Amino acid sequence: MMIANLNPKKALALLSVTFVLQATAQNNAQLVINGLAPKTTISRNIYGHFAEHLGRCIYDGFWVSDTSSLQKKDRIRLDVVEALKKIKVPNLRWPGGCFADEYHWRDGIGTRSERPKMVNTNWGNVTEDNSFGTHEFLELCSLIGCEPYISGNVGSGTVEEMSKWIEYLNFDGLSPLSTLRKENGREKPWNVTFFGIGNESWGCGGNMTPEFYSDQFRRYSTYARNYPNAKLKRIATGPNSGDYNWTEVLMKNVGNRMWGLSLHYYTIPSGSWNAKGSAIQFDEKEYFATMKNCMKMEELVTRHSTVMDKYDPERKVALVVDEWGIWTDVEKGTNPAFLYQQNSLRDALIAGINLNIFNNHAERVKAANLAQVVNVLQSIVLTRGNDMLLTPTYHVFDMYKVHQDAKLLPIQINSPDYVVGDQKLAAVNVSASQDSTGAVHISLVNMDANNSVTIRTAINNINWKTVEGQMLTSAKFTDINTFENKNVVVPTVFKGAKKEGNDLVIVLPKLSVVVLELK
């Protein structure tokens, strides 16, 4: 029987048998990549980011003083913009987060000196002057070249308020709101499509039950109108990590009235919100516990997708993982409400693992947003005055951007275990895709802190001759980039892959993220 004549699933299964997917030694792995007629597209929107009015993300992150000597457009600092353009950020979520359900959009438009100040009750009771509002955010998105993803206020806002914000954003005819937009300097609508109907409505967004929220979604979304050239992608508040009942109720009561259902899950090193663990000081036992908690994302995405499949077998409703990343204790000496944390090699491995999971579930996961982009939680950029650095996590997004809008290649891997004490995890995590030119990209993570892994790979139904790669690694999982030394954890050329017959053999170093290109 010719493998090429089988459907992709049967071909992959046959290869799995003939290739004998069983590790022969602790540091050996076998991988099969099926290139036969790939169908599923990995949406570029999986690689989205999140900017909340929280700590130093907006103010002192993107938005600087009008007297700053930095290169800027209005008050948007352009070094951050250029960094985000380089990694092809596809969408940016704003204004929250918990902040979204206390934000009233009219306070952030018009003459800045006349905008009312507000207290940010979620994040430190700081007073904000609302100088960064709708126009400023959408200008930021325009400079980055990304789509805006706006979260509307359900918790403390009204149906009318949300409806009129969407009219202000998207209506091109004659109306009081479009006239007001023009008076404020914007002639044409922005045609925003990604729109969240509330945020964390089970918690800071109103402490609602799923039954109550599903009714609120139906009501609010009725008046969240589509306008010409701006068909809304309405995103409902989804579950808090493993709340499968919330997903069940929303799928049953809302169904395809929503474009997407959100999912929030943070990797907490200790597993406890009370004492999360340090971003920079941890031993191998805590490192292993963190990676174990990170891998829970696979279970969450799989099980929530199964619930969604029950009501939506054609997978028309997207799973939108619009808050994810590692959450540690804040850095010593910083405001505990500002959620400022350093970013280590461990965090880069977490980013690679999560993105591989989202890629491999691309039939259901259509968008995701790392929390958060500047100076908050698992940031890709840190700023200090006029200085800026790129974190290890930034470099993972730079390496993985090759997957955006490429076709998912199904994989099957038999990985050796990473063992600490009496616990173990699969050491290697992989996803693969083929872009529009035919090039194949394979992203691999080896979380093992002690052992390299040799991976023998069979690639079905794809002809290739050359392999090149990039690698992100460092000596220790605690290694970080600092303002004094910005290049501790940066990508290097990877030379540990070669062609042997028809197979690809990869020697994957410990604590590494590798992206290969086959042509």
**Burial bucket for residue 374 (CB in 10 Å: 0-12, 13-18, 19+):** buried
- Euclidean distance between CA atoms 110 and 128, whole angstroms: 16
Q: Is 200 a catalytic residue?
A: yes
CB 101 within 8 A of CB 205: yes
CA-based end-to-end distance of the chain: 28
- Euclidean distance between CA atoms 461 and 517, whole angstroms: 16
- Euclidean distance between CA atoms 251 and 253, whole angstroms: 6
In three-state secondary structure terms, 362 is coil
CB 258 within 8 A of CB 420: no
Cα angle at 231 between 228 and 236, to 5 degrees? 150
**Burial bucket for residue 127 (CB in 10 Å: 0-12, 13-18, 19+):** exposed
**Burial bucket for residue 66 (CB in 10 Å: 0-12, 13-18, 19+):** exposed
Catalytic residue (choose from 200, 284, 286, 363)? 200
Cis peptide before 372 (omega within 30 of 0): yes
- Euclidean distance between CA atoms 241 and 354, whole angstroms: 14
Count of helices and strands (H, E) across the chain: 11, 27
Catalytic residue (choose from 314, 323, 331, 500)? 323
In three-state secondary structure terms, 289 is helix
In three-state secondary structure terms, 222 is helix
Query: CA 125 from chain center: how many Å?
Result: 27
- Give the catalytic positions in this structure: 200, 323
